Amino acid sequence: MLALAIPIAFALMSLALLLNLWRVVRGPDLPDRILALDTLYINSIALLVLFGIHLDTMIYFEVALLIAMMGFVGTVAVAKYLLRGDIIE
Amino acid sequence: METIIEALVALFLLIGAAFALVGSIGLAKLPDFFMRLHGPTKATTLGVGGMIVGSVLYFSTRGEGLSLHELLVTLFLFITAPVSAHMLAKAALHLRLRTVERTRGEGALPRGDAE
């Protein structure tokens, strides 16, 4: 059953990533692009977890955690830059 | 027993992927920024949550004991998603992005096609 579910889940996640990429390219404003990048990294975390199940290894959880932390810091930094014109005042 | 666990894992993986896809469709299709904010912050976070629950089930039944450190990722995402959404909404209000007619609140935001 997993042999069927994992490829379907891969296909759905890939479609989601393509839609996010389309929003990054399309814009139209800067917050839209930041939001799309934010969604892109969250979806890539889900894709990594799925890949870990597919390969039957637990190595990728640390990677997922690192991406979650760095992505959050990046999103907050860019949003702060848009809000104040500066990151650390 | 093994089959039931496998079916549950497959179900959670599919639910997670479907929610993530719904969030991304919302991000791609909704008409202005404040509507677009809904899809990723709610549906996509829940999608990752479903995926992680499937992963916890899968690795906990491998015979190596309970595997809970995936839950850290979910916990972190559940804490940070509202914070980043709040920051982005404040930035969008500050930049006075265009909104469609149906978007309510604040009143003074300029109307227009923000597609």
Does ipTM come in above 0.90? no
Q: If you write DSSP's letter for every residue of A16-69 in order, what string do you get? A: HHHHHHHHHHH-SSHHHHHHHHHHHHHHHHHHHHHHHHHHT-STHHHHHHHHHH
Please name which of A79, A20, A81 lies closest in space to residue A45, comparing C-alpha atoms.
A20
B60: domain range?
2-98
Q: pLDDT tens digit string along A8-23?
A: 999 999 999 999 999 9
Quick check: is B105 in a domain? no
B106 occurs within a structural domain: no
The count of domains in chain B is 1
Spell out which residues of chain B touch residue A42, defining contact as CB-CB under 8 Å: 20, 40, 44-45, 48, 77, 81
- Show which of residues 17-76 on chain B sit within 8 Å of chain A, judged by CB atoms: 17-18, 20-21, 23-25, 27-28, 33, 36-37, 39-40, 44-45, 47-48, 51-52, 54-55, 58-59, 67, 69-70, 72-73, 76
Q: What is the pTM of this model?
A: 0.89
